[in-house]
A = this chain, B = another copy of it.
Amino acid sequence: MALIVQKFGGTSVGNPDKIKNVAKRVLKNHKEGNQMVVVLSAMSGETNRLTDFGTEMQEIPDPREMDVLLSSGEQVTIALFAMAIKSLGKDCISLLGDQVKINTDNSHTKARIQSIDSDHIVKELDGGKVVVVAGFQGVADNGDITTLGRGGSDTTAVALAAALQADACEIFTDVEGVYTTDPNICSKARKIDRISYDEMLELASLGAKVLDIRSVTFAKKYNVPIHVRSTFTETEGTWVVKEDNKMEGRIVSGVTYNRNEARITISGVPDQPGIAAKIFTPISDADIIVDMIIQNQDTGNGLTDLTFTVPRSDYQRTLQLLQSVAEKIGSKGGVQGSDSIAKISIVGVGMRNHSGIAATMFSILSKEGINISMISTSEIKVSCIVEEKYTELAIRALHDAFELDKESVPEEENVI
C-alpha cells in the first residue's frame, strides 16, 4: 500500500464536471490499494475574480484580509470534491489549512510553511478516507489565515508529501510533463522522463511555468519524488528526483526562455569603489528586482559601463530612477536600454563535468547571426540575452544542436 499525494490545479477543477472527473481518477488510485491525499487549487478564474473584488475595495488590499478573501476559493473546491467522492460511494473528508495544521510564518500573501502536523490526516487515512486538503493556504501562530502566493498549491502538496513521508507527490497539470523546451515554439520538444531537482530549479527560475520553484526547493530538501503529469491522460509524465546515474548521459537537459525582462545600461560612469551601490541602492529601495548584472572592464579612461536586467513591467520606472542617479554620479554616457530582449538559457547537470558548453552555445547562436548582449552562467546553466525577435530561432537552433529531441544521447556525441 502506497501513500500518494496528488495535486490538481485550477484548470483541472475548473467546473463541477471537471471536479467529478478528478474524483473518479483519485478513486481509481484509491481502489488500487493506495492511501490518497488530494490537494486542490481554486477553480480557474476564481482567484482572479476575488482579487478583482479586493482591489475594488482598497487600492492596495490589506494583505491579511486578502488572505481571508483568497483562501475561500480552495475551500469551495475541496468541499465539492469531498461531495463528489462521497457520491461515488467512498468516504472523504476535506481539511482547510488550519484544520490540518499547516503552520506558516505571518507574511501574508507570501507565507512560508514552517511545520505541518500530519496526525489529523494520518488518522483519517487510517480510517479509510480519502483526504482532500485546501492548497495555497496555512495558518499563522496567531490563528490568522495565510496564503503561500501564486503556485502555492504545489508547495502545499510537496510539503504534505514530505510530512507524511509519502511514496510520491503527483502534480497534475494541463501539459504532459516537463519538456526539453516549449512545444509551442519548437515542434521537436520532447517530454523529459527524469530530471534532477537542481535542473528543475533552474528551469523553473528561468521561465518554465510547469512547477512552482518553492515546491521544488521543498522537494529537494526532503527528497520527495515529484511526478508532473497530465490531468487529461494516463500517460507517465516527468519525474523530478534526486540526481542519479541515469541522468549523467545528458549534458543539456532543457532550453528555456524568458521574455519578461528589459535591459538597461548606464555608461561612462567613474570606475571607483561604491559606484555600484550608488546605482543599485535606489533601485532596490523601489522594490525593483535586478536579475543579471554586468560591469565592463575599465578600458583606461577611468570610466566603466554597467548593464543589468529588470522585470519588463519595471522598465520605464527604472529608466526614470536612473536618470537622476546618472546626473548625481556624473555619468558621461547617460542611460540607455531595451525592453525587447529575451533571455535564452540551457540547463543541465551534465555541464558540471563538461567544459566548453558555454562556448558551444555561443557558437551555435553566432552561426545563426544572433548577437549576444549579456551572458550569465552557473554550474548547471548558461543564459544569454539576445534581441527578442531571435527567441524562436535561438531555441530551435540550440534544441537541434544539443540533440534534445533524442531520447538518450551517448556522451561522445554531445560534442558539437
User: What is the interface of chain A, defined by CB distance below 8 A to chain B?
Assistant: 16, 19-20, 50, 53-54, 56-59, 61-62, 64-66, 68-69, 71-73, 75-76, 78-80, 82-84, 86-87, 93-94, 96, 98-99, 143-145
Contacts and interface: CB of A to CB of B under 8 A. Distances in A.
Contacts of A69: 75-76, 79-80, 83
Contacts of A94: 65, 68
B57 A68 contact: no
Contacts of A84: 57-58
Given A20-B57, A57-B87, A58-B87, A75 B78 contact: no
A82 B145 CA distance: 14
B68 A75 contact: yes
Contacts of A93: 64
B68 A79 contact: yes
A72 B76 contact: yes
A83 B99 contact: no
A311 to B, nearest CB: 26
A15 B79 CA distance: 24
B71 A143 contact: no
Contacts of A76: 50, 53, 69, 72
A61 B83 contact: yes
Given A65-B83, A69-B75, A71-B75, 6 more contacts: A50-B76, A57-B83, A58-B86, A68-B78, A68-B96, A99-B143
Nearest to A87: B58
Nearest to A94: B68
A132 to B, nearest CB: 9
Contacts of A54: 79-80, 83
Given A68-B94, A75-B75, A82 B62 contact: yes
A80 B51 CA distance: 10
A205 B133 CA distance: 40
Nearest to A68: B79
A83 B96 contact: no
A42 to B, nearest CB: 10
B79 A66 contact: yes
A20 B57 CA distance: 7
A71 B79 CA distance: 11
A68 to B, nearest CB: 4
Nearest to A132: B65
A194 to B, nearest CB: 37
The 9 closest A-B pairs by CB, nearest first: A69-B79, A57-B83, A68-B79, A58-B83, A58-B87, A72-B72, A72-B75, A16-B56, A65-B82
Contacts of A68: 75, 78-79, 82, 94, 96
A186 B382 CA distance: 81
